[in-house]
Structure 1
Amino acid sequence: MKTFALIGAAGFIAPRHLKAIKETGNRLVTAFDKFDSVGVMDSFFPEADFFTEFERFDRHVDKKRREGDPIQYVSICSPNYLHDAHIRFGLRSGADVICEKPLVLNPWNIDGLAEMEKETGKRVHNILQLRLHPSIVALKNRIANSPADKVYDVDLAYITSRGKWYNISWKGDTTKSGGVATNIGVHFFDMLTWIFGKVKKNVVHVREENTAAGFLELERANVRWFLSTEYESLPEAVKLAGKRTYRSLQMEGEEIEFSDGFTDLHTRSYEHILSGSGFGLLEAYPSIEIVHYIRNAKLSAKTSDYHPLVKSTLSHLDLLNE
C-alpha cells in the first residue's frame, strides 16, 4: 500500500484521483486546497488530514518525511499554472508525482523538471488517459499496421459548453489556463501525435476566448481541429438532443467512437503508473509544444484546410472574413 498526498482536493477532477487511489488499494494520507468544499473526501478517505494553507501542508509533509514516514506519491489536480511549482514541491519532498494535464504550460518548464528528476531520483508522471482508451489503442494499432506511406485525413472536434462562470474562473485567464486549446485540448493533441507521429506543420485559424481551431500536418495525418466551450458552437442535432458536449474524431470520413469509458481511465492510469509504466516528461513534450505554439502563433488565413465547424458556427462572429 502506497501513501499519497493530493493537491487540489476541491477541483473538478479530484474525485477521479481519489477513486483511483482507493481502487488501486492505496491510501490518501493528506490533502490540500485553499477551498474547503472537499466533502467528497468522506466517500474515499475520511481519515486523511486536510489543509487550506499551503505552508501548513508543506510543514506536515516535511514532518512525516523527517519522522521516517514519507509521502510516496503526490497527486496534483491544481490549476494549470500551478502544476510546475506543485510538481517541484512533490519532488523536493522525496515523492514521485502524478499530475493532471497539461503537465506544464511551456516546453522549457519540462526541461527544468527533468533536471529535478535527476537531482531527486524521483519521477514525474502525466495523466494521458486517452493512450489507455481501448478505441484509441485499437486505432493506433490499426495505423501502425497500415502501409507506411499512407497519410490520413482526420477531423477532430471537441465542444464542452460551459456557463458564464468559466471565464470568471482561472480557466478563463490565458496566463493561468493556457487558453482553451491548452485547457480542453492538450490530451487530444497528445493522442494525435501518439498515433500519427511528429508535427510537420502547425496552423492556427481561430484563437478566441472560448474557441480555437487550426490545422496540424503530422507524419501520417492531416488534421483539422476545432475546440470550444461555447454552447452555440454545438451542432444543431446535439442541441436538439438536450446535450451540452460533442466529441468527434473522423478518419477518412469514418467516425471513431471513443465517447464512452472516460470515467474509468484515471484508475487505469494509476495502475499503469504503479506498475512502472507511466507516461513521463518525454511523452508530455510534444503536446506541450503544440499548445504553446497555438497560444503564441500568428493567425493564418482560413483557407481550405480549416475545420468545417469554423464556417458553420463562427460565421456570426465574422471570423471568416478576418
Structure 2
Amino acid sequence: MKNFALIGAAGYIAPRHMKAIKETGNQLSVAYDINDSVGIIDSISPESEFFTEFERFQEHAWRLNRAQKTKLDYVSVCTPNHLHHAHIAAGLRLGCDVICEKPLVPTLEILNELRTIEKETGKKVYNILQLRHHQAILDLKKEVDAAPKGKKFDVDLTYITSRGKWYLESWKGDPRKSFGVATNIGVHFFDMLHFIFGNLEKNELHYSDELKAAGYLEYEKARVPWFLSIDANDLPDSVIGKQTTYRSISANGKQIEFSAGFTDLHTISYQEVLAGRGYGIDDAEHCIKTVEHIRDGKTVQASENHAHPFLAKLL
C-alpha cells in the first residue's frame, strides 16, 4: 500500500483522484486546499489529515517522511493550472513521485525546469492523459496505425462546454492562471490527436477570445480543423434546450463516440503509474508545445480547406 498526499482537494477533479487512490488499494494520508469545502473526503478517506495552509501541510508531510511506515510515496496535484509547477516541484523535493492533472505546465521552458528537478531529486512526474486509455480512442488509433503509409484522415474536432458567468470570475477565466480557453479545455484533445495521428506538422490559429478559439492542426496522419468554446450561444440548434455540452470528433466522416467510458479513466491512469507505465514529461511535451504555440501565435485567415464549419459565424 502506497501513501499519497493530495494538493488541491477542493477542486472539481480532486474526487476522481481520491477515488483512484482508494480503488488502487492505497491510502490518502494528507490533503491540502485553501478552500475547506472538502466533505467528499468523508466518503473516501475519512482518516486523512487536512490543512488549509501550505506551510502546515508541508511540515506534516516532512514529519510523515521520518518513518518508513508513514513516508509519502506520491503527491497528486489537482490545483489551478498556474500552480502546477510549484506544487510538482514541492512534491518532488519531498522525495515523492508526482501525479499531476493537465496541462502539466504552460511552456516548454518550465517543462525543462521540471526535468532538472527530476534529475536533482531522482523522482518522477506523471501527467494524467486519460483519453489515451479510452477504448474508443484506442480503437481509432489501431485503425489509423493499420492505414496505408501516407494516408491522412480528415478529422473535425468540436467541443462546446457551456459555462456560466462564474467561469470568468474564477481562476479559469484569468488567462494568467488558466492560460486561456484553448489550453484549459483543449489540451487533452490535442494530446489525444497527437497520440492517434503522430507528430504535428502545421498549427494555425484562426480565432481566439476569452470564450472560444478555433484553428487548424495538421499531423502526420490527419488534417484537423478545431473549435473550442465555453459559450452556450455556440451550441448547435440540434442540442439547444437538451444539453449544455456538445462534443464531436469525426474521422473521414465517421463520428467517434466517446461520451461514455470516462468514469474509470483516472483509476486506470493510476494503475498504469503504479505499474511503472505512466505518462511522463516526454509524453506531455507535444501537447504543451501545441498549446504554447496557440496561446502565443497570431491569428491568420483560414483557407477554405482549413476552416472549421463554426468559424464563419464568428467572423
AA of the residue aligned to 1:94: G
For the residue of structure 1 that corresponds to 2:21, the secondary structure is helix
Shift of 1:303: 2.5
8 Å contact from structure 1 (residues 117, 124) kept in 2: yes
1:81-160 equivalent positions in 2, closer than 5 A:
81-160=82-161
Post-superposition offset of 1:104: 0.6
Question: How big is the alpha-carbon RMSD for the aligned residues of Structure 1 and Structure 2?
Answer: 0.9
In structure 1, C-alpha distance between the alignment counterparts of 2:278 and 2:227, rounded to whole Å = 29
Aligned residue runs from structure 1 range 50-89, under 5 A: 50-68=50-68, 69-89=70-90
User: Following TM superposition, by how much is the alpha carbon of 1:232 offset from its aligned partner in structure 2, in angstroms?
Assistant: 0.7
Question: How much does 1:263 deviate?
Answer: 1.8
CA distance in 2, matches of 1:302, 1:171: 28
Give the Cα separation in 1 of the matches to 2:125 and 2:53.
24
Structure 2 segments unaligned to the other structure (5+ residues): none
Work out the CA distance in 2 between the residues paired with 1:188 and 1:148: 24
Aligned to 2:41: 41
* Superposition deviation, residue 120 in structure 1: 1.0
What is the TM-score normalised by the length of structure 2?
A: 0.98
Deviation of residue 164 (structure 1)?
Answer: 0.3
Aligned to 1:28: 28
Aligned ranges 1:234-245 → 2 under 5 Å:
234-240=235-241, 242-245=242-245
Give, in whole Å, the separation in 2 of the partners of 1:168 and 1:257.
Answer: 33
**Cα distance in structure 1, aligned partners of 2:43 and 2:106:** 32
- State the match for 2:187 in structure 1: 186
> How far does residue 117 in structure 1 lie from its aligned partner after superposition?
1.0
After the TM superposition, which parts of structure 1 deviate over 3 Å for at least 4 consecutive aligned residues? none
* Unmatched 5+ stretches in structure 1: none
Q: Does 1:257 find its partner at 2:254?
A: no
| Equivalent residue, structure 2, for 1:300 | 300
Identical-residue share of aligned pairs (%): 56
In structure 1, how many angstroms separate the alpha carbons of the residues matched to 2:25 and 2:271? Answer: 10
1:7 partner letter: I
Aligned residue in 2 for 1:198: 199
Asked if the contact 1:70–1:94 (Cα under 8 Å) also holds between the matched residues in 2, the reply is: no
Alignment length (residue pairs): 313
Separation of aligned partners in 1, 2:284 and 2:223: 21
- The answer to whether the Cα contact below 8 Å between 1:180 and 1:210 also exists between their aligned partners in 2 is yes
Residue identity opposite 1:42 in structure 2? D
Q: Please say if 1:287 is aligned against 2:287.
A: yes
On the 8 A contact 1:6/1:75 being kept in 2, the answer is yes
CA displacement at 1:302 relative to structure 2: 3.0
What letter matches 1:38 in structure 2? V
Instruction: Give CA deviations for 1:89-130 in whole Å, capped at 9, x if unaligned.
Output: 000000000000110111111111111111111110000000
Inter-partner Cα distance in structure 1 for 2:239 and 2:20: 31
Tell me the TM-score normalised to structure 1 length. Answer: 0.96
Tell me the amino acid that sits aligned with residue 123 of structure 1. K
What does the per-residue CA deviation read over 1:160-213, in whole Å, with 9 as the maximum and x for residues that have no partner? 101000000000011100100110000100000111111111000111101011
